[in-house]
Structure 1
């Protein structure tokens, strides 16, 4: 649904805006890469354009910190969380593509996050993060449970 809306917006954008505003075309390039699931290409599209101060807030909201050294930090974190939730094992090559890094950098990055590596098969073992949920105990619920158990016992 979202990709269809984006394509419609692009098709209905006047040619003059597309031609005279290179940032619009650069943003569309990012959208195209996302739409085709070219995750490595997303990083390329972000880095290859020198964004104006007006567009920096928009790009920064998507990618994280600005200037370009840190452009893809937030996107990398999002992709890492996606990989972590979707895979139990994944190749080093695919991980590097998804994270927009070299294979060595991607391997080092995930090892720091606790993942395992099998260099012989060039595979990574995902370490699932333990989700800690805090349970709040409602005293009235505890009282009801106590009364119910007491009733069952007598």
Structure 2
């Protein structure tokens, strides 16, 4: 099986493409009868789905990993540990699994990139869900110590009350785009014209 496109996607850090590429390659290999289950890049496949926040598909991949692979390739088990923590919404556990991950340079690069993406997702979640939140909880959700979490959110425009150790969340400005309906404009013009005359 030709993994050239997958290798190039990993090299160019096009991680958002990996899950779909792996799915396509696995399907192609299955139809051609050439997939050797023990040689399949399961860790990359799992991490690809985790990267794009498709935990259901990651679970499906995990369930199809042969037992011998689960027992003999710790990188695959470590990749799924991140997925498990995401599945159970164990936010601190996700970061713990990321820190404990030890794999090939390609898989490690993917995990490092996912860590950055995940922190941004969690920050957006906090920003949309809270108006105030403690420093301790923020650090937990962002996988940082309290000092680093404080620096991170202050750079995003949040404020902190040292006495209560609470952040005030700066909400993202909501931009709404109004679409102008020509018929409404016509009626408004006629109405204004009517009032003036």
Question: Normalised by the shorter chain, which TM-score bucket?
Answer: 0.7 to 0.9
Q: Is 1:91 matched up with 2:134?
A: yes
The residue that corresponds to 1:52 in the other structure is: 104
Following superposition, the deviation at residue 101 of structure 1 comes to 0.5
**Partner residue in 2 for 1:22:** 74
Q: Name the residue aligned to 2:25.
A: none
Q: Indicate the SS of the match to 1:75.
A: helix
**SS in structure 2 at match of 1:74:** helix
Measure the CA separation in 1 of the matches of 2:148 and 2:112: 23
What residue is the counterpart of 2:170 in the other structure? 127
Matches within 5 A, 1:133-148: 133-135=176-178, 140=182, 143-148=185-190
Higher alpha-carbon deviation: 105-114 or 92-101? 105-114
Question: Cα offset for 1:99?
Answer: 0.4
Q: Counterpart in 2 of 1:102?
A: 145
Q: Distance in 2 between matches of 1:38 and 1:80?
A: 15
Could you tell which deviates more after superposition, 10-19 or 120-129?
Answer: 10-19
Unpaired segments ≥5 residues, structure 2: 1-53
Q: CA RMSD in A?
A: 2.8
Measured after TM superposition, the shift of residue 79 of structure 1 is 0.5
- Kindly state the Cα deviation for residue 77 of structure 1 after the two structures are TM-superposed: 0.9
- Which residue of structure 2 aligns with residue 114 of structure 1? 157
How many residues are treated as equivalent by the alignment? 143
Q: Does structure 1 conserve the Cα–Cα contact (< 8 Å) formed by 2:92 and 2:140?
A: yes
For residues 121 and 191 of structure 2, what CA distance do their matches in structure 1 show? 46
2:125 is aligned with 1:73: no
Q: 2:102, 2:108 within 8 Å by CA — same for their partners in 1?
A: no
For the residue of structure 1 that corresponds to 2:163, the secondary structure is coil
- 1:70-107 per-residue CA deviation (whole Å, 9 max, x = no partner) reads xx222111110100000011111110000010011111
User: TM-score if structure 2 supplies the norm length?
Assistant: 0.60
